[in-house]
Structure 1
Amino acid sequence: MKYVRKLSAIGLSSVLAVSLAACGVKEEAKAPNNAGTSGEQKAVKLRIMWWGSQARHDATLKALDLYTKKNPNVTFEPEYQGWDGYLDKISTMAAARNLPDIIQTDAAWIADWGSTNRLMDLTGAINTKDVDPALLNTGKYKDKLFAIPLGNNAFGLVYNKAELEKLGITPPKYGWTWDDFFKFAKEAKAKLGKNQYAFKDLTADGLYDAYQLAKGKGWPRADGKFNYDKETWLDWMKKFAEMRAAGIVPPADVTISDKGADAKLDLMIQDKILLRNSHAAEFSGFDALKPGQLALVTIPQDKQAGGWLKASMYWSVSPDTKQAEAAKKFMDWFINDPEAADILGTSRGVPVSKQIVTGLESKFTPTDKAAIELINKTAPNAQVFYPGPGLKNGWDKFEKEYSNLVQQIMFDKITPEKAWEQIEKLGKEIK
């Protein structure tokens, strides 16, 4: 798979995935009394599905109502939920050829779904003249456009600024290093109470990718090839084993109970950890749970930067839809219409239309501005984003086995050295 080119930051952002709402929420978007037909236009109902925070759900439902008001023949059957379980659900729907007409998708899925005819080719179907070409290209697979990007985004960290101030802990700063990151953890432990930790155990967390990138070793799964660096990987695993033993990070059972941006299960929201992963576009979702208490910072760096820019998410169309033209018309409106932009704001990150961004600048909230700053601070030396190899060529087996092995490490059932032997063996099976 080709590397996705580095995205240019536009300057705005906020709210991404992970949600507060119960999974599987489904309802009819209410149409006005005159909905159904308009002149000779045929009545159309579009099924549409997305993941996100409650703020995104509310904004999207309002946008759907506006679209129906402007196009009375079109109504919607929306379904929305949090991030957890979303991919499993749409994968099951795709297998049954029962996908909604429009689905929200992620960069990591496009190659798999595009190569197996689970998404419609949208090349030339949507007005994207105001979309940065580098951003638009992230929705392509083999020069076919399978997904329309909905926002720009940056990968970083969110921390509890208010709690750090209360405890007298020096907050992280933009441009900090991985040495600073681990030093921060030790300093925090000395001032934290019982059952409080610097951050969760990152043994089984995707933040390892950022660590290897910062060390100058590239993506662990670069170009679909096994590229885990033994020395860097063992260093990461041993650091967290030491911190687990010292109580700097929580026990494994506490770590696995964490569910990001869930009001009851997010360890940071429950004041059990001080810092966690976050995309810029997720920030307002976190801020809604702790208004004014949180802040963002870049991923730590080493020889290179550890963070990257990417499209926040996409709209895609089912290849089995019977409402293809209506779906495309709606998606065009969604990214280009100023009234839609007023409602949606930054609920999916930086709007992709440059004209829309210009129109929203005067309406940026403090939360938006914080997310904008993360994007702008990440942009100058951001890593080239790579969505991963998907599940082909043996990566499906690797994913399952790798997840099992790192969890065994976290529960102290296997040493990092023994786990590495098995991971390296699995890597050799990748075609």
Structure 2
Amino acid sequence: MTDPDWVTHAIWWQIYPLGFVGAFPADPPPPPDEHRLLRIVEWLDHAVELGCSGIALGPVFASRTHGYDTTDHYRIDPRLGVEDDFDRLVEECHRRGLRILLDGVFNHVGTDFPRYRAALDGGDTAWFRRARDGFATFEGHGELIALNHGNPDVVDYTVEVMAHWLDRGADGWRLDAAYAVPERFWASVLPAVRERHPQAWFVGEVIHGDYPAQVRSAGFDSVTQYELWKAIWSSLNDGNFHELDWALQRHNDFLDTFVPLTFVGNHDVTRIASRLDDSRHLEHALVLLLTTGGTPSIYAGDEWGWRAVKEERVGGDDAVRPEFDQRPTGDNDILQLHQYLIGLRRRQSWLHTAHTEAVEVSNTGYVYRTVADGHELTVALNIGDDPLPVALPRPGRITAGSGAPPPEHVADLVVPPHGWVIVEPQ
């Protein structure tokens, strides 16, 4: 594993800046003098109160539309503000002890990227992949032009861009669409960046496939754990904890090589509160996220149980990428549960690399031990309509649970219908 030491304690609060500050979609788009990037500063204390230790930013670089069609990797998107605004955001984050993760799009560029415009005008075309009818695009999107990753100039450019923003205070990079980029490209880029920034962290966006092989070949520190994301909501909806147990066995295998980025929501998927058929199981999804190995990420808004559905159409992401105006007020059970479980996670930093072992598995009941470095927790989940009796592997103290509070010290317990319990051994 190549994680820098600080990642052991990392819990990200992920935001999509262009939507977060109301810069996209917006007609007319805001000008730079509105400095909307600084609106994020107003939310940093919330991230700290939530218990997170870092801000994972979506695209902040100049683009024409949604941020993933980059036109200038060296310039802050004018709809967000100017470079000084980024410096201020970094300063305010680091003053609060928050790390910053940037979102880098290096598989493709937008159609306003200057080198692409020059290529269309008869200039050098070597920066871009060719297709039968012109230039290759990303997954058929005509406004996203695929870079030629075999070109050494593209390698050097990517190294310099990544190092530039790390120089300005960023702590790492999420590598967008990393699965579409040849692994040899990353294997050339990342060592050169690490040589200048050995404490930087790099997570590749990977959807499926052999995660450990991709980590080894590309040189990522981590990849996005979409397999576990899917297994969490699918097993809860279908009443099939056997699917979850299988995914956690694979997750254990991944942890032998690297620590995945884990999540139950992000800017590209339907919010977990809308994905789940039974709202009572939102708690179970969060318990799973924060009691299993990984580097967890909380998608902004999920901590209040916000709902939104991603649709496969133009503008279909907008609902899951809303503007954040004023912070919700009043008591919120989901927010309080986030704070409690994130606090538990921060106190038990060994969970970063923890493996899980099934104790009992049925369609609607799942009991597992999560263990690492001589530490352990036992977690019992019940999504059935009947109480779930549990014989614990060893007596322990209940540290959290839903429903009527059970005795503090137990050797056996009963998990209420649609409830959960976390036990720390004594």
**TM-score, structure 2 length as denominator?**
0.28
TM-score by length of 1: 0.27
Structure with greater strand percent: 2
